[in-house]
Amino acid sequence: MDVLALEAKKVDAVEPEKKAAPRPKPKAPKKAKRIVYFEVEIVDLKTKEKLLLLDKVEPTATVLEIKALFHKSYPKWYPARQSLRLDPKAKCLRDEDILQTLPVGTTASFYFSDLGPQLTWGTVFLAECAGPLIIYLMFYFRLPFIYSPKYDFTSSKHWIVHLACICHSFHYIKRILETLFVHRISHGTMPLRNIFKNCGYYWSTAAWMAYYINHPLYTTPYYGQQQVNAGLYIFLFCQIGNFSIHVALRNLKTPGSKTKKIPYPTKNPFTWIFWLVSCPNYTYEVGSWIGFTVMTQCVPVAFFTLVAFIQMTVWAKGKHRSYLKEFRDYPTLRSSILPFIL
């Protein structure tokens, strides 16, 4: 009996086994978000003929991607040649515009127009600069059929003529090198027909001023060396300033990015003009041609400077308005091209 009682006590002393914890119920799989695809219809702007219907276009597609899809069906119209807009009278859509952010429903109609053959802006800039450089040198070396035969391949006796050639060549060589190694061009292309207009102007004015500066009967500036030196100093100062602004604008942009920033002065003193002017590259460019005008005392150069100033003022005002529209904190003290004036 004692043995049985002892065994019973041992059993009672054993702790009861713990119950297993209940397993958590598996979570129901999340339902995939339904993607609402768009239907894009591309219509010819002039004839109103339906050119293409794109089905199941993703809402995050950009205008550039839509142009690429259109290009597959119409190979002759590459993306840079296409202009797409939501209304025949509306502005062209930007390549970076996203489909779902546009004021359209799930069925969108785009109006297409052909911009014609395109050239990159870099190519246009190089053509604009290379032409005046070569043409001016042709007059400087007095190639045949330009002046009287007795002056063929002769050299001017005035040292200002040689200085003017050096400055003119320096200016356009600088612009060519900047196009190749400094500028980050935001615009992709321009119509091929525009190159004839742009180059025609630059090339003809270069020939006009070169004809008179290198002419055998050219007369030196009225105030002599003092006037030449003053013009030269203005020219060189503005050339350095123009280059400094171009470098500052390049450093403002990161490669491949289209994010716009407000340009501010840097440690370079030539960039301090940013406190007063939105487009100091144009200010320095006009200053360079004013210096060249003073140095050569040539009417065609003065005419070119005046026209250049008018054109660059138009560009500067447009850029200034763009800055004010895009940036609420844009410095209010700045003018477009001339401090406190214009």
DSSP string, 208-239: HHHHHHT-TT----TTHHHHHHHHHHHHHHHH
pLDDT, mean over the chain = 89
pLDDT at 26: 67
pLDDT at 190: 84
**Could you tell me the two tokens for 325?**
């529209």
Confidence of residue 11 (pLDDT cuts 50, 70, 90): very low
- Window from 141-150, 242-251, 253-262 with minimum mean pLDDT: 253-262
pLDDT at 32: 56
Strands of the sheet with 82-85, listed across from one edge: 50-57, 38-44, 107-114, 82-85
**Cα 15 from Cα 105, distance rounded (Å):** 71
pLDDT at 28: 60
Confidence of residue 89 (pLDDT cuts 50, 70, 90): confident
CA-angle at 22, arms to 18 and 28, nearest 5°: 170
pLDDT at 191: 86
Percent of the chain's residues with pLDDT above 90: 68
Which amino acid is residue 264, in one-letter code?
A: Y
Q: Residue 341: which of 289, 269, 283, 281 has the closest Cα?
A: 283
Averaged pLDDT for residues 24-38: 69
Averaged pLDDT for residues 231-235: 98
Q: Is 111 helix (H, G, I), strand (E, B) or coil?
A: strand
Which amino acid is residue 87, in one-letter code?
A: D
Question: Where along the chain do the CATH 3.10.20.90 domains lie?
Answer: 38-115
Cβ pair 66, 108 in contact under 8 A: no
DSSP β-ladder status, 82-85 and 107-114: antiparallel
Highest mean pLDDT among 25-29, 156-160, 253-257: 156-160
Q: Residue 80: which of 114, 46, 50, 48 has the closest Cα?
A: 114
Q: Which residue has the higher pLDDT, 19 or 164?
A: 164
Averaged pLDDT for residues 195-207: 93
User: Does residue 1 have a pLDDT over 50?
Assistant: no
**Cα 99 from Cα 110, distance rounded (Å):** 11
231 by Cβ neighbours in 10 Å (0-12 / 13-18 / 19+) ranks as buried
Cβ pair 3, 70 in contact under 8 A: no
pLDDT at 111: 94
Highest mean pLDDT among 32-36, 81-85, 173-177: 173-177
DSSP string, 144-212: TTTS-GGGTT---S-HHHHHHHHHHHHHHHHHHHHHHHT------EEEHHHHHHHHHHHHHHHHHHHHH
pLDDT at 340: 92
Which amino acid is residue 96, in one-letter code?
A: E
User: Does residue 164 have a pLDDT over 70?
Assistant: yes
pLDDT in tens, 249-280: 999 887 767 778 999 999 999 999 999 999 99
Q: Which residue has the higher pLDDT, 187 or 148?
A: 148
* Sole residue written with tokens 């612009």: 175
The fold of the 38-115 domain, in CATH, is Ubiquitin-like (UB roll) (3.10.20)
pLDDT at 338: 96
Averaged pLDDT for residues 310-318: 96
pLDDT in tens, 66-83: 999 999 999 999 999 999
User: Does residue 193 have a pLDDT over 90?
Assistant: no
List of residues 6+ apart from 162 with CB closer than 8 A? 156
Q: Is 40 helix (H, G, I), strand (E, B) or coil?
A: strand
DSSP conformation class of 106: S
Averaged pLDDT for residues 162-174: 97
Distances (CA, A) of 7 to 1, 15, 16, 216: 10, 15, 16, 136
